[in-house]
Every structure is written in structure tokens, then in C-alpha cells.
Structure 1
Amino acid sequence: MIEITSQEALAETFLQQKAHFASNTYPSYQDRISDLTKLKAILIDNQEAFIDAMSKDFGHRSADDTRLGDILSSVMGINYAIKKLKGWMKPEKKHIGILFQPAKGKVVFQPKGVVGIIAPWNYPVFLAFGPLTTALAAGNTAMIKMSEFTPHTNVLLADLIAKHFSHKQVAIVCGEAEMAAAFSSVAFDHLFFTGSTGVGKLVMKAAAENLVPVTLELGGKSPTIIDENIDIKVAVSRLILGKTLNSGQTCVAPDYIFCPENKVAELTQAFKDAYQNMYPNTQDNTDCTCIINKSQKARIDDLLTDAKAKGANIIPLTADSGDNSSRKMPLTILTNVNDDMSVMQQEIFGPLLPIIGYKKVEEAITYINSKPRPLALYICSFNKAFQQYILLNTHAGGVCINDAAFHVINDDLPFGGIGASGMGQYHGSEGFKTFSHGKAVLSRGRISLGALLFPPFGKKIHQLVYKLFIR
């Protein structure tokens, strides 16, 4: 079995994985290291094949967008898990109060069982292998539903997984929306979803029917706040790669920027200068990734048309401002934007970047806090007080200070959203714990004083305990 494409095969594979897990409910450290090593080999030995497959899926995808965004990030996560796994697997010692002595307490991290993973199209390998890495490190089996928008990547991944793993341990599921709905309805022991907030609600609703715990990695409009005292060119240098990687088709890409209003023109020019150094043109540039399909391109074009009709200034950063046939677009700045525009209501997920001028930073904070909580927030400032003020007065899934997006691939930092941008965390030890059940264990030996508290109540020992501990 290479890829699962029917609901019947989905149900059958799930039962086979349940049975496989039941036969080995706590894989050894050596088995888990072997699984992680095989995952790493799949990536390293097939880099060119992944680059080619993803480029076919996108129409053209920069080879380096794939190397950075999918391969390097995934390999780093696997290496970190291999390095830390022995420590993660150790039970955590817990304090036991004097009233319950003599006793010992610990938390044992037990694999949950069969994990379902729903991966999106924008980074199909990283967002499949990231959760898969920590799911296997935690000792689970896994089924991965890939996006229908990445068929070439899906076929390659299914073939490579089948060569290294039994489908009873790791299986790739393909198909359209009806298969995604069926996948969400399976009684997994944990369901992990990366995608839009709207679809995330449907996934959570389906999982609730079986009381399946979920991790939702969603999106939203991730804001940036630029301090009036930072050099604008420096600020742009810290932000621009996070926005241009994968042509902005990144859930944590900066979505809009708050800039001191007297520096908006300077910021726009700095972005233009930096962008043209990176991408002198877009149409004939192999470093420039396409918008993945016609519907996504049309969606972004509609955002531009709507914004222009409502008074926004549209500033493409190269002269070749877009080609529908190639679906390549330059980074495009929008100024004079307002909340009536769709571009300020929807997650952009593409190479558009609105800039909003502010007089006082409190305006930016009030605006951000009036919106659904974002997946990421970015601060450009070397002023510690400015940084701390924003950190303590806003909410976001994660934050970068003088950087953008790269907190996601730092393996010891938990990654996840808050509110409308998601729930739960993964990566590193947090990922291991997400896919484990932390089982509390209270252990007594031959001596136990618990019987002293048995009825009949009202004895002096009861009165003494209440006096000492109810205060």
C-alpha cells in the first residue's frame, strides 16, 4: 500500500494501525531513534526529487524555498529530536506533600496511540514531517492527510514512506475535500491540523464527535510594529525574508506593518530597494516562487482590486508587476489602507504588504488587540522598554523581535497559536508532550500511613490534620 485514496482504505488502515499500536504500546528508545533516522534519510537522500515535485505542484517553486522551508527545517527538527529524545522519555519526578508520605510521585510519558495529521499545501513536507517527527519520537503511529493541491509531492512522499515504514505505522492519505472530512471524523487518539481558521472549526467539530483531542495550527493576520527610533533599512532587512519566502505563502509571514506615519514613504522605498536587490525581476527569476494555483492567484488579485477601488495606493516593487499565466507576483506595498478593505480583513497569504502609519504606538496596540489574536507578532526595535511594553500588552502565538518567521524553525521554542490562530503547541519537548499522555503515578512502598485517616472521623488525628493543613 502506497497512498490511501478511498474511505474504505482509510478505515481499514486506521484499524490496522490501532492493532499495530496495541502490540507495542511503548516503543523502545532504540526503535524511536531508528524511526527518526529513517525520516531523516528520506529527506537527505531525496532532496532533488522533493524540489522537483514541489516545483511541479506550484507551477514553479524556488529550489531554495524548498531547501530552506521544507528540507532544512525538517532535518533540523529531526536532529534535535534525536539529540533530546532520551531526556524527553525519562519520567519527571514530582513533589509529594508531607501529608501523603512516605510516597513517590512521577509523570510517565506514554504514547497516545494513532495520531492523525492534516498537512497544508504551502510547506507540504515541513508541515507533515514536523508533527510526524514528534509523533514518532513520542512512540505513536501516524496517518497523514496531504493537501489535494500538492499531488506530485504526495505521490513522492507516499512512495518514500512506504519504502521505509509499514503502512501500519506511517500512512499517507490523499484525496479531495470529502476525504479530508472523512479523515477528520476518524476516532484518532490525537488529531493535528494545520490550515485556515475556517477549516479548523470544521475539523474540531468533527473531532468532538469522538472526543478526540486536537492541536490546531491556524493562521490570521500577523502584525509588525516598527519603533520610530530604529533605522528603517535595518528594520526592512529583518522583515523582508520572512515576507518573501515562498512568495508570502507562509502562515507566519508579516501580514501588515505599523510604522511611524512620518516614515511610511521611507519604509516603502527601503522595501523597494531591498526587494530589487533580492529579486531584480520576477517573471524570469528562478528564485521567485509562483502562487500555487489559479484560484489563489485570483484571490490575491481580488484583494488588490478591492483595495484600489477603496482608495489604497498600490506599489509593486518591480516593474514586471505580475503575470497571470505564470502566477508570479512581486512583493506589493499597499498604503492608505482601511478596515473596509478585504486585504485588512482576511489573512493575505501572498506577496501583499499593507503599511499603516501611527502617531503613537498605543494606536497600534489598540488596533491589534481589537482583532482576533494572531499566530505571530513582530517587533522591530532595539529599545528594551518598547519591546517589553508590546510583549506585555498584546497576545500572539509567538513573537520575533528584530526578526520575522524564524522562531518557527528554532527547535527548542514551542510553536502554536492562541484564540483564532490555534490551540496547542508542538516542536521540541512541547511536541513530544503534545503527542504523549503525561500519566501521573503515585507510588507507595510497604509502609503507608493512609489508614490513620480512615473513619470513624472525629479522631484526634483528623483534628490535627485539619488544623495543620486547612489554613
Structure 2
Amino acid sequence: MTTDTAQIASLSAQFTSLQNAFLDNPYPSIHSRIAILKKLRSRIVELEEELISAVSKDFGYRTAFDTLLGDILPTVQGLSHIIKKLPKWSKPSKRSVGLSLWPSKVSVTYQPKGVVGVIAPWNYPIQLAVVPVITAIAAGNKVMLKLSEFTPHTNAVLEKLFDDKMSQHVCVVQGGSDVASEFSSLPFAHLLFTGSTGVGKLVMKAASKNLTPVTLELGGKSPVIITEQADVAKAAHALLFGKMANAGQICVAPDYVFVPKTLESQLIKQLCELYKKHFKQGVEGKNLTSIISDSHYARLAEYLVQAQELGANVIKPLEQNQQDADKHRMGLHLVTNVTDDMQLMQDELFGPILPIKSYGKLDDVLDYIKQHPNPLALYILGQDKEAQEYIIKQTLSGTVAVNDTLVQVTADDAPFGGVGHSGMGHYHGKEGFLTFSHAKNTLVSGSFNPRIGLLLKQSKLLTKLLKWLYIK
């Protein structure tokens, strides 16, 4: 029996075990939830070096900076925020009853849903696995966590994090696409998937058989708009950071950039100079993360070849050390004269390739963005506040960042999620707690309740009173 076959065979038993554990204690105390979260926070801190080393092995090479900044710190920070805010979030929310329901009282109570499924991706294998889990635990649920088959070394450390002492709360599942397919078909109380739009559709289809509600954190092509009054040097700094962090392998990485025609050459010059300054050794440098696998590297290389064949101009900031196929490492590549028939303008890039499109009128840019699927992130680089406000109101995206890139998703007290093809639903912060909770309408009536008698009698007086109150 293969590993995947064995995993598939055990999925139902693992789900049943967690379901039974939940039914034995369907409303764990806030104190007990916080105790679990504190233990996980301590364990992550203890495992920091091990996690950094494991992720680097999975990528071929990943900078400690990328893992610390993008994986470990947001996870620990998120845990601290949840631990602090959970008592407040979990309190019943008092609501108005209006005169028609007087003297009863109405509140909304937040109840755990049951067993939550989480399918994590490979690009941030710690944060994107652990943060949904801790949010679901904060809401009082049990969790089945499906880890990516691309990160076996990281997975081994995460299994240590969720050790036997956590088995009544979290079950870790590994395996390939067959396991993921069966996993999606389990009758979860809620299912969160992070990954590509294409796979997200399959996950949603599988979940629909059980009417399982889903949160889909997808991606797409996140555009950057540089406005006419932008400080190009500052824009280049934000753009280069957003594109080179984790070698561009981020769901909210800047995917392509619009720049005024009058600023295009200046932007290219600034990006090249900045790259030479910060990544002067190119693929030989220790500050450049590798592409996750040979196949992903080959996909990126093919984008560049096809774009050049169709008339694009590929600009390499360095004359050498721009690509290393054997180690699947790639430096920054700027691409101009791009058209929509090029594959790099159709697919989410997930790599250090940056297409650049010049424009004359801002409205033409907005028309282009609105004619394409709603992105997970939209970036505005420039100091014109009127232009910023106009762009934000005219576009629909999961997140927006002005004069910054990437870091909007690390705001603990704000929701994170896409819209349309870039996803549905939210998690992070209070919105995450609400996502994994059932908001139960709870009405409480006391011994004095004349309303019932009047309703039973179908009282004309009550009818007149209600019509006078509400139908005027």
C-alpha cells in the first residue's frame, strides 16, 4: 500500500475521531482555548531554527529572512493578537429587539462549528498552515490540517508542533493531490483552502456535496499602478521588495505594473540600479530565495522565452548570474512591450518576473483592470491622494496597499481575503474568529410576556399597533 493510499484510507477514521472529541466537548472554555494557543506560541518559538532550516531544504535554498519575516513572525504575532482579543470576541453580542419583540432580549452567541478542514500551500508553509488552525481553535473547533507535498521537511517539524498532546485538537495529514481530493470531500463544518484558482474550484465542487461552507484564499494577477505624480525612486523600492521577497512566490506579490509613459524609462533604470545594489551577486547571493522546484522554474523560464518570441523585451539588471536551472534559482527579469496573448500576462506569475505596461490615461488602466478577474491585491504607488481615492473606488480587489507592498496582509486586526476569482470569505483577526464560528440568534423571554397571548388571540389591537409602528 502506497503512502497516499494509506492516508486516504485513514482520513475518515481521523475525521471521526476529531468529530467524537468535539461532540464530547462542543463548547470548550475560552480559558482552555487560550491555554492551547499559548502552548503553540511557545513551541513555535522553540522550533524557530528548526523551522528555518527545514523550509530552506524544501526550497533548495530559502533565506532565513524570508522565513522569519513571512512565516514565523506573522504566526507568532497572530497568536499573540488572538490570545489578547479572544475574550472580547467571544462575548455574546447584544442586539436590539424593537418594540415588536418587547420585553424579550436578543443576542448573538458565537458557537464552535465542529471539525474544520484546512488545506495549506507550499509558498509560506508555516504561516499559511498554522494561522488558519489557530484561528479555528480560537473559535472552539477541532482541525484537520492537510499540508503541501512540496514541503516534506517543514511538514515534519509541523508534526512536532502538533504532537500527540495536540491530537485531540489537530490532526495533520500529508499526501499528494489524491489525498487532497478525498480530504475536500469530508463532511467538514467549514473548509479553508489556500492555493490556485483552478484547484480552488475543484475544492469548492467537492465540498458542495456535503454543503460544506468554504473560505477560498486564492490569488490571481495583482496589479501595481504608479501614478503620474509618483516619486519613482520610492515606488521602485516598494516594488522591488514586493517582487523579490520569497522570490515573488507570494499570492499578493505585484504581478505586473502600470507606469506613465513619461516615467517608464526612469522606473526601469531605478529598478535595475536597486537590484544591482541589493542583489549584486544575483543567483549566487545568499539573500535570494530559490524557486520551489524544477518544474516551477521551468514554467517561469518558458514564460520569458515565449514572451520574447512574441515581441517582448526582457531586461536583466545583471549581465550574468540571472538564472541557474540546476539549482532552480532566478533573479529579477523586467519585461516590456507585453501583450495579453503572452502567457505571462495570463497566468499568475509566482516568480521574479515583472511585466511593465506604460499608459497615457489612468482611466485606460482602470478599464483594463476591471475587464480582468478581481485581484487579491492592488497596489497604488504615488502621492496624489485624489488619484488614490479614485483608483480605490473604481476597482474591486481583496486588499489595497498605498505606497507599500505585501505588508497589508500582516495587519492582525484586519480581515484578509479575496473577491471573485481571487477568493471568497475572510480570515485573520476577528473576521477569522467569526468565519469559524456559528453566529446563533438567541432570544430570551421572561415570565412576563403578554405578546404570546395577544399573538394567540390574533389580536386586532396588536395588529393595529404593529401597523402603526412599522407601516406608515
Q: Into which bin does the TM-score normalised by the smaller protein fall?
A: over 0.9
1:408 is paired with a residue of what secondary structure? Answer: helix
Q: Which residue of 2 aligns with 1:416?
A: 417
Q: Which residue of 1 aligns with 2:307?
A: 307
Q: Which residue of 2 aligns with 1:196?
A: 196
In 2, Cα distance between equivalents of 1:230 and 1:6: 53
Q: Which residue of 2 aligns with 1:339?
A: 340
2:407 is paired with a residue of what secondary structure? Answer: coil
Amino acid at match of 2:338: V
In 2, Cα distance between equivalents of 1:148 and 1:190: 22
Q: Which residue of 2 aligns with 1:161?
A: 162
In 2, Cα distance between equivalents of 1:59 and 1:462: 74
In 2, Cα distance between equivalents of 1:300 and 1:37: 41
2:233 is paired with a residue of what secondary structure? Answer: helix
Question: Runs of 4+ in structure 1 displaced over 6 angstroms?
Answer: none
Q: Which residue of 2 aligns with 1:448?
A: 449
Q: Which residue of 1 aligns with 2:325?
A: 324
Q: Which residue of 2 aligns with 1:28?
A: 29
Shift of 1:450: 1.8
Q: Mean Cα displacement is larger for which, 238-247 or 433-442?
A: 238-247
In 2, Cα distance between equivalents of 1:446 and 1:391: 53
Amino acid at match of 2:249: Q
- The answer to whether the Cα contact below 8 Å between 1:110 and 1:438 also exists between their aligned partners in 2 is yes
Q: 1:18-63, CA deviations, whole angstroms, 9 ceiling, x for partnerless residues?
A: 0000111111111111111121122110111111111111111111
- The answer to whether the Cα contact below 8 Å between 1:119 and 1:195 also exists between their aligned partners in 2 is yes
In 2, Cα distance between equivalents of 1:178 and 1:75: 32
In 2, Cα distance between equivalents of 1:317 and 1:172: 43
Shift of 1:150: 0.6
In 2, Cα distance between equivalents of 1:307 and 1:363: 23
Q: Which residue of 2 aligns with 1:74?
A: 75
Shift of 1:458: 6.6
Q: Which residue of 2 aligns with 1:124?
A: 125
1:215 is paired with a residue of what secondary structure? Answer: strand
Q: Which residue of 2 aligns with 1:434?
A: 435
Amino acid at match of 1:94: R
Q: Mean Cα displacement is larger for which, 194-203 or 24-33?
A: 24-33
Amino acid at match of 1:301: A
Q: Which residue of 2 aligns with 1:233?
A: 233
**What is the TM-score of this pair, normalised by structure 2?**
0.97
* Superposition pairs of residues 129-144 of structure 1, within 5 angstroms: 129-144=130-145
Asked whether 1:249 is paired with 2:249, we answer yes
Amino acid at match of 2:252: V
Q: Which runs of 5 or more structure 1 residues have no equivalent in the other structure?
A: none
Shift of 1:318: 2.3
Q: 1:196-241, CA deviations, whole angstroms, 9 ceiling, x for partnerless residues?
A: 0000000000000000000000000000101111110011122221
In 2, Cα distance between equivalents of 1:35 and 1:236: 43
In 2, Cα distance between equivalents of 1:396 and 1:311: 30
* Superposition pairs of residues 265-414 of structure 1, within 5 angstroms: 265-319=265-319, 320-414=321-415
Shift of 1:245: 0.7
- The answer to whether the Cα contact below 8 Å between 2:44 and 2:161 also exists between their aligned partners in 1 is no
2:143 is paired with a residue of what secondary structure? Answer: strand
RMSD (Å) for aligned C-alpha atoms: 1.3
Q: 1:119-178, CA deviations, whole angstroms, 9 ceiling, x for partnerless residues?
A: 000001100011011111111110110111111111221133115412x31111001110
Aligned residues: percent identity? 47
Q: 1:390-438, CA deviations, whole angstroms, 9 ceiling, x for partnerless residues?
A: 0100000000011111111110110000000000000000000010001
Q: 1:67-119, CA deviations, whole angstroms, 9 ceiling, x for partnerless residues?
A: 11110111111011011111011111111111110111111111111010000
Q: Which residue of 2 aligns with 1:18?
A: 19
In 2, Cα distance between equivalents of 1:352 and 1:264: 16
In 2, Cα distance between equivalents of 1:251 and 1:37: 29
In 1, Cα distance between equivalents of 2:74 and 2:277: 25
Q: Which residue of 2 aligns with 1:212?
A: 212
2:358 is paired with a residue of what secondary structure? Answer: strand
Go from structure 1 to structure 2 and tell me whether the alpha carbon gap of 1:44 and 1:458 turns closer, same or farther (over 3 Å shift): closer
In 2, Cα distance between equivalents of 1:366 and 1:164: 54
